[in-house]
Amino acid sequence: MSQMIIASQLDEDYNDVIRQRLGSIHPEAQVIGVPAGVPSDLPPQANILLLRPINVRGYTAPDTPPPGWPYGAQWVHLVSSGIDFYPQWLFNGPPVTTSRGSAADNLAEFALAAIFAASKHLPDIWVKDAQWNFTALRPLKGTTLGILGFGAIGESLAQKALALGINVVALRQSQAPFSAGVEAAKDIHDLFARADHLVVAAPLTEATRHIINRDVLGSAKPGLHLINIARGGLLDQEALLEALDNGQVGLASLDVTEPEPLPDGHPLYTHPRVRLSPHTSAISTNSRNEIADTFLANLDRYISGSELANPANA
Angle at 20 between CA 15 and CA 21, to 5 degrees: 100
Taking each helix axis from N to C end, the angle separating 287-304 and 12-25, rounded to the nearest 10 degrees, works out to 40
d(CA 282, CA 257) in angstroms, rounded, equals 15
Q: What would the DSSP string read from start to end of 31-56?
A: EEE--SSS--S--TT--EEEE---S-
Could you give the residue numbers annotated as active site?
Answer: 231, 260, 279
Q: Which residues pair with 5 in a beta bridge?
A: 30
d(CA 247, CA 225) in angstroms, rounded, equals 11
Please answer whether residues 245 and 222 qualify as being in contact, where contact means their C-beta atoms are separated by less than 8 angstroms.
no
How do 96-97 and 75-78 pair as beta strands?
parallel
